[in-house]
Amino acid sequence: MSYYMTLYSLSERCPSVDAIEVPLFSDFDADYSIEKGDDDDWREITFCFDGEEDSFATLSRVTVDSPDGLRYIEAALGDIEDGEPASAVTWLKAYLSRVKAIYTFAIDDDRGLPAIRAVQHGIWLEVGGVKQADMEGFSNDEDFHILWQFTDKPRSQPWQMAVLDGNGQWLTFEMDLGRPDHVAAFRAGRVPDGVPTR
């Protein structure tokens, strides 16, 4: 079963192939193939490890003026409806209503996850947007985690987070995903006690 990550961008322009090649070729023994479209307007890309025939991931790019694009936006709006904190849900609803392009990564081999995270970040650096990952949640457009959707209890590790203050500005901080008090504060829309903001 595939693991999905998505990037929702306010830009319609197609990212350059450099956004894919630089992170992919710099750190991973992998390659890619444009299956639909061309270098200037690609729509589907597959990724494979060097020396292997089967792809480990597929990337699709759709715009919201297409049936698939509208369907993805509607699904995302439904997915966040019961998310926490509530302030992030409100912010995301407004953001998603302005999205122009959607990049969906379907990962079929866990070995490829680091490479796909790097490619997603490379595309994000060019076109911006908010990221979403299955069983984790959403980031904001500054790449801080803002919506709690972890389906399992995360292991203890530092995570870059953000919550909105009373003026609608992001307060960014690092918290421990394994600490129940940190998680509870974040889900309530607060910075955990004793955690400094930036």
What pLDDT is recorded for position 113? 96
CA–CA dist 182, 190 (Å, integer): 9
**Over the stretch 24-68, which tens digit does the pLDDT of each residue have?**
999 999 999 999 999 999 999 999 999 999 999 999 999 999 989
**Over the stretch 143-173, which tens digit does the pLDDT of each residue have?**
999 999 998 788 899 999 999 999 999 999 9
Bridge partners, residue 60, by sequence: 44, 104
Indicate whether 169 belongs to any domain: no
Indicate whether 112 belongs to any domain: yes
- Please enumerate in sequence order all residues whose Cβ is within 8 A of that of 67, keeping only pairs 6 or more positions apart, or say none: none
Indicate whether 192 belongs to any domain: no
Give the residue carrying structure tokens 């990049």: 103
Query: Of 151, 146, 187, 135, which is closest to residue 170 (Cα–Cα)?
Result: 146
Indicate whether 186 belongs to any domain: no
Q: Please say whether the dihedral angle defined by the alpha carbons of residues 162, 165, 169 and 173, taken in this order, is positive or negative.
A: negative
Q: What is the pTM of this model?
A: 0.95
Indicate whether 173 belongs to any domain: no
Number of structural domains found in the chain: 1
**Over the stretch 62-110, which tens digit does the pLDDT of each residue have?**
999 998 999 999 999 999 999 999 999 999 999 999 999 999 999 999 9
8 Å CB contact between 113 and 107: yes
CA–CA dist 126, 15 (Å, integer): 6
Indicate whether 168 belongs to any domain: no
What pLDDT is recorded for position 148? 96
Residue 39: give the domain boundaries: 3-151
